[in-house]
Structure 1
Amino acid sequence: MTNPVMNFLALALYFIAGGLLGQRLLRGQVVTGGAKIGIFSLGLGAVVLHAALLYSSLWTAAGINLALTPAFSLIAWVVAILYLATSLIRPVDNLGILILPIAGLTLLVEWLWPGHMSLTLTSSVSAAHIIISVLAYSLLCLAAVQSLMLLMQERHLHGKHPGGFIRALPPMQTMEGVMFQMIGLGFILLTFTLISGVFFSETTSGQPLRFTHHMVLAVLAWIVYAILLVGRWRLGWRGRPAIHWTLGGFALLLLAYFGSKFVLEVLLHRG
């Protein structure tokens, strides 16, 4: 069941918060004090409304609806929550100019093109697998957005054109440190996702493991992140190499889940 008023309000709050944040950053103003509280409050209001809308679309009589657009909206909601929570303890406010509007757009897409693919949670293993995988994808998505900000910052600094937006960003070393913290935690959760996926496959299909495109791409993403973390630890990787490996790993994850679902649900019309 859709609620046009709640959809519109959530979408508006996401875009207003992202717009206000972008406006301050473009002026080179670091978001602090009352401005930070105001933007955070708008974002919090948006994710609360988003949660209510997700509840009505995800939980059905037949099970949990993990079709393409509801799943995309769910990931975006978790990313927005992680962003808001992280912004209280880390200098990541700048990420909101991408995360908040995109979260709003996922709501709009799901509203206009609702999908239906019910999955019955037959055990606690199934529920744990879904929760861990959503957290892993969300954390690594947050790290990918952080890497994009780093890429923009590096290009401006090397081009000797530090505009207002770049002046408002934290030092590159600080941003890299936060990005690798996200990747490290996301990598641990991704590892648990792959392990629990073996048992999840057994409970849903009766087979212990199926090497589908989804599984192969997810394992490749895990390998990319593993190489990145080892490179950081042993060789001190930073800058563009770290950014490229981060984006490469996330691109594989994106293809592993949403790419597979797009092919199945949109191109092949399989629920």
Structure 2
Amino acid sequence: MLVALIALITTVLYFVGGALLMQRLKLTAAGEPPGSRGLPRLFTLWGAAIVLHAFVLYAFLFGENADSLGVFTVVSLTAWVIAAFLFAWSFRHPIHVLGIVLLPFAGVTVALDMALSGVGPATPMDPSLRAHTLLALIAFSLFTIAAIQAAVLAIQTHMLQNHRPGGLIRALPPLSLMDTLLFHIIGWGFIFLTAALATGLFVLEDIFAQHLLQKVVFALIAWVMFAVLLFGRFQFGWRGRKAAHWTLAGFVWLFIAYIGSRMILARLLGV
């Protein structure tokens, strides 16, 4: 009962944080830059949501079912890592506007985890698998932030090229900084994805029996796409729309690998 109440509060805090960010964006669009006004309240709510979300996850990961990890708990844990990373980076770079999408998403995952916990398969969690899973979740979280930023960067580039600077443009950092941050995030995500794939070699026993072949293939495709993107960046200076499109394409393959394939197997094959 206590966990359910905390999960409800967490969900509300995430949505309130997203609403505050939307309000700031509307003020900026109306020509009234909010500056730092309201940011302390936003970050207080955001930080509280992360702490309470961690408590809910702790209850699921180290409670009665501590030896297994369900589908919706994986999604909720991923959302928590995303929210925590973005929260930390927002103190150094003005990218908190990305929380307009990510904070409500985190709130939804908390609610789904509470409502649907125990639905779908649970993955045994021995120490080596825990390490592999943690690396994979960090990689996926970083690439999720990168994908959101790539989408915003594509919109930002399009609006500037068409001489239509809207409220979103005013609320965002300069295009050059957004581009640099994108590849900074992709670089770290690529490191963690490589580590996750490498540790997977020691975790996987029989990819066919464990129904992981499609997951491995899709993750490798994503790895190749991000490797090509990073090579294009350093060798040919890829940026803007091209970088955004490659980022989003790679993220789609990664999403299918980590989330889509698992849910398909859970719903269609019952494994």
TM-score (norm 2): 0.91
Match of 1:140 in 2: 143
Q: 2:125 matched to 1:121?
A: yes
Instruction: Report the Cα distance in structure 2 between the residues aligned to 1:67 and 1:30, rounded to whole angstroms.
Output: 43
Work out whether residues 120 and 270 of structure 2, in 8 Å CA contact, stay in contact via their aligned partners in 1.
Answer: no
Matches for 1:219-230 after TM superposition, within 5 Å:
219-230=220-231
Match of 2:202 in 1: 199
Work out whether residues 190 and 222 of structure 1, in 8 Å CA contact, stay in contact via their aligned partners in 2.
Answer: yes
Offset from partner CA, 1:18-59 (integer Å, 9 cap, x none):
111111122216665352221111011111111111112233
Q: 2:206 matched to 1:185?
A: no
Match of 2:239 in 1: 238
Work out whether residues 30 and 169 of structure 1, in 8 Å CA contact, stay in contact via their aligned partners in 2.
Answer: no
Offset from partner CA, 1:163-190 (integer Å, 9 cap, x none):
2222111111100100100000100110
Instruction: Report the Cα distance in structure 2 between the residues aligned to 1:211 and 1:18, rounded to whole angstroms.
Output: 35
Match of 1:55 in 2: 58
> Which secondary structure state, in structure 2, belongs to the residue aligned with residue 66 of structure 1?
strand
How much has 1:8 moved relative to structure 2?
A: 1.8
Correspondent of 1:41 among 40, 44, 52: 44
Q: 2:87 matched to 1:87?
A: no
How much has 1:3 moved relative to structure 2?
A: 3.1
How much has 1:206 moved relative to structure 2?
A: 9.7
The aligned amino acid for 1:215 is: V
Residue 7 to residue 62, structure 1, CA distance change in 2 (3 Å): closer
Work out whether residues 65 and 116 of structure 1, in 8 Å CA contact, stay in contact via their aligned partners in 2.
Answer: no
Match of 1:65 in 2: 68
Could you list the runs of 5+ residues in structure 1 that have no partner in the other structure?
A: none
Residue 64 to residue 100, structure 1, CA distance change in 2 (3 Å): farther
Residue 72 to residue 210, structure 1, CA distance change in 2 (3 Å): closer
Work out whether residues 27 and 34 of structure 2, in 8 Å CA contact, stay in contact via their aligned partners in 1.
Answer: no
Instruction: Report the Cα distance in structure 2 between the residues aligned to 1:242 and 1:51, rounded to whole angstroms.
Output: 33
Deviates more, 1:50-59 or 1:7-16: 50-59
The aligned amino acid for 2:270 is: H
Offset from partner CA, 1:117-175 (integer Å, 9 cap, x none):
4433333x322211111111111111111111112212222332212222111111100
The aligned amino acid for 2:23 is: Q
Paired residues in the alignment total 266
How much has 1:246 moved relative to structure 2?
A: 0.2
Correspondent of 1:167 among 140, 163, 170: 170
Instruction: Report the Cα distance in structure 1 between the residues aligned to 2:97 and 2:39, rounded to whole angstroms.
Output: 11
Work out whether residues 146 and 247 of structure 2, in 8 Å CA contact, stay in contact via their aligned partners in 1.
Answer: yes
Residue 235 to residue 109, structure 1, CA distance change in 2 (3 Å): same
Could you list the runs of 5+ residues in structure 2 that have no partner in the other structure?
A: none
How much has 1:83 moved relative to structure 2?
A: 0.5
Work out whether residues 66 and 118 of structure 1, in 8 Å CA contact, stay in contact via their aligned partners in 2.
Answer: yes
Identity, % of aligned positions: 38
Instruction: Report the Cα distance in structure 2 between the residues aligned to 1:131 and 1:2, rounded to whole angstroms.
Output: 27
How much has 1:75 moved relative to structure 2?
A: 0.3
Instruction: Report the Cα distance in structure 2 between the residues aligned to 1:190 and 1:196, rounded to whole angstroms.
Output: 10
Q: 2:190 matched to 1:152?
A: no
Instruction: Report the Cα distance in structure 1 between the residues aligned to 2:162 and 2:249, rounded to whole angstroms.
Output: 24
Deviates more, 1:7-16 or 1:215-224: 7-16
Instruction: Provide the alpha-carbon RMSD of the alignment.
Output: 2.1
The aligned amino acid for 2:180 is: G
